[in-house]
Structure 1
């Protein structure tokens, strides 16, 4: 879709805040809705979108608290992500959608598709953050969650430039696995001007990113998964035993291997040569799977 050029940046008012989203292509064509992972933003999809064939209308959203969207006090309640994505779909009157979500973005899409399945044609869940069912039993009380307990809350949040951020990350695992042009997009659009003084700060504040991780058990996805009859393609990345360095490595897949069997109409493709950041490693392959739908 390289002929589509630069996207149009738009805003959608939701509740007392707003969502930023980017739009490519002709609105009369079939729409692909792209929903990114925790800590990222809509423009991390740029290279995947460029690899799609022509004839699609693309909407990529900055999830709540991310990118250029509004920043709530906390994102520990994952219902917020599902509700905001669903509100965007309904507010834009999207129909016949191909929903594509990566990691927590896939979880948010499952929530939205459960509420409004009539607006979706199918889902492509790119290594969704849906782990084994037992994990969701006895979830913590949201009021007891303290994002400051998560080391992500202490991420560096002050940068001189996107180029400085790129230089700092390019040789660091797992960013070293990414295609360099995707990493540059992540840095270019993942910073905002600092509130005070010169320089830049992360578009997803570390405290908010940490609150997402701390609240990952706040929504049990399995009652939703069991109700979804849409065709679902699941792309699952390397597991902890697939020649990786540590069990708690962000590069490892969080996706339960039995997930596809819980959906009524799902196929899974295990891609052990790719990490959890598969759209950043091989956007061309991910684009092919988006177009293909159910993995054969």
Structure 2
């Protein structure tokens, strides 16, 4: 599927959600794809391009990301799911297969729990769903200042997408990505700066920082037992993590698959946390296979 997506806007009580659409609805299930923290919907472009022809794909920019509205903070991850419920409801009655990466996979589980029967199947790609013990007391913790997080100090202004791509191309984790995925990240991850000179990150560093700071605030195990769609779980290797920004290792609890009764629990040992960016063709093949098994 090499076509360009169509861009749409969906009004929600907090603000507009931007979402992209490839193909047309058919008798095959539609795919709803959710991106990770700090990224945007067009990071799925190369996954979509590797799908067989005839798929209908929907991918939104989550709140605070891409071209969707910017809230004051992203303290509660479940608010990202609440903002996307109108998009799920827009396709009510259509069979959906959900695919989510990292924070997007966490959000996908919440959507599936909030809308029983909406999804035929779920693909969770290295979800940020950690050991249950880590969530104890998270909701009572004070909301930290995003300015205190190192991600808040990342470079925000760029001359253009090419400058950003050249800067990242030989640096981890981006040097492990497929080159076109990195180009897509840079091209669609910048917006014109208000000053009229250059560009700025579509997901402001302070908002991205608030996502990382509040990863443990809401316990997903409160709803994971209510999922009514079969789950395929794909994980990168786990190991000691050098702080919250170490993406060489998986953040996914190794017991998650058994805990939620995943029908498939696969370890992709050649990958880091950024599985869709490193091997979009393999992710596309997995999605196509899941869709084929839906009859």
TM-score (structure 1 length as normaliser): 0.94
Q: Secondary structure at the match of 1:118?
A: coil
Separation in 2 of the partners of 1:80 and 1:227? 19
Higher mean displacement: 219-228 or 122-131: 219-228
1:77–1:142 contact (8 Å) kept in structure 2: no
2:135–2:219 contact (8 Å) kept in structure 1: yes
- Counterparts in 2 of 1:60-209, with a 5 A limit? 60-93=59-92, 95-141=94-140, 144-209=143-208
Residue 15 in structure 1 maps to residue 10 in structure 2: no
2:113–2:223 contact (8 Å) kept in structure 1: yes
Name 2:252's counterpart in structure 1.
255
Deviations 1:204-263 (A, max 9, x none): 00000000001111221112111113110001012226xxx9465123210011001111
Separation in 2 of the partners of 1:89 and 1:286? 22
2:19–2:59 contact (8 Å) kept in structure 1: yes
Question: What is the RMSD of the two structures over their aligned residues, measured on CA atoms?
Answer: 1.8
Name 1:238's counterpart in structure 2.
237
- Change beyond 3 A, Cα 1:96–1:37: same
Separation in 2 of the partners of 1:26 and 1:51? 17
Separation in 2 of the partners of 1:247 and 1:148? 17
Name 1:288's counterpart in structure 2.
285
- Change beyond 3 A, Cα 1:291–1:101: same
Separation in 1 of the partners of 2:77 and 2:143? 15
Q: Secondary structure at the match of 2:225?
A: helix
- Change beyond 3 A, Cα 1:247–1:209: closer
Separation in 2 of the partners of 1:159 and 1:203? 11
1:240–1:247 contact (8 Å) kept in structure 2: no
Unaligned runs of 5+ in 2: none
Shift of 1:266: 3.1
Deviations 1:132-184 (A, max 9, x none): 00011111546532111210011100000000000100011111110111000
- State the aligned residue count: 290
Q: Secondary structure at the match of 1:53?
A: coil
Higher mean displacement: 5-14 or 219-228: 219-228
Separation in 2 of the partners of 1:272 and 1:264? 21
Higher mean displacement: 261-270 or 11-20: 261-270
Q: Deviation above 3 Å: which 4+ runs of structure 1? A: 140-143, 245-248
Name 1:55's counterpart in structure 2.
54
Higher mean displacement: 169-178 or 91-100: 91-100
Unaligned runs of 5+ in 1: none
TM-score (structure 2 length as normaliser): 0.94
Q: Secondary structure at the match of 2:94?
A: coil
Residue 34 in structure 1 maps to residue 29 in structure 2: no
Shift of 1:6: 0.7
